[in-house]
Structure 1
Amino acid sequence: MTADLERTQILYTSLLIQSTHGLATTPISPGDDIRALRRTWLAGFAGAVHNRLTAIETAARHDAQAEDTVIGGPATTLVLASSDFPVPELTDGAVRRPTAAPAWSTSNAPSSPP
């Protein structure tokens, strides 16, 4: 999760730098409303970022579906947590622990099918 936050911060900082640089280097004609130019330029920049992220997401989804087709179904890749991640704390309430006796056995099975 920390890595995701770091990547998000890097992406945000990169986009902020790119937008600031792009806006600063945009020529302004005499008589143009600077505030309107900034608003429309930033709206266009945000739209371009959205389009790129949507295209990347669509491509990733398409690749995953193609991989599922090749292997005959959805992949069940094992994900391992690092040793410093508190996995037992997260699973204590979610995982049922085995009991001494099974909940269902042949002794409580019906004698004949219904």
Structure 2
Amino acid sequence: MSSSFNELYSNILNAVFLDRARQQLEQGVDGLACADAYADQGKPDFTLAHLLLADAPEELKRDILARSYERRAELTDERAEAFDQQFHRPFPLVKLEAQKDRMSAQQVRQGKRIRRGAKSLTMN
């Protein structure tokens, strides 16, 4: 891979997440443990912020970030199913977001830039 983790993914993150991660690190938290916990919660922005600041192997960072996207996709699918049951109609746009997250996870695992489309909010 020609690009480092930080080169590939630092441009997709809003600075507010990095600021929050820095504050947590200043308070003495373990950045990698935080990234792992946020991944389990399906929060890729917080996960990525901690990973960008962490000193860890690239493969581990990619795995944790991909897992955060996969978890968010699972949670989004669950939400879509709950909406479907509650409102008795499908929610295809919610399902599409889950599909985009799965694609993002796959791209991260392959060491590629995340490409979610021109109108994606994560591409700021």
Same fold (TM over 0.5): no
TM-score bracket, shorter-length normalisation: 0.3 to 0.5
Choose between structure 1 and 2: higher helix proportion: 2
TM-score (norm 2): 0.33
* RCO higher in structure (CA 8 A, sep ≥6): 2
Q: TM-score, normalised by structure 1?
A: 0.36
Task: Report which of the two structures shows the higher radius of gyration computed on alpha carbons.
Answer: 1
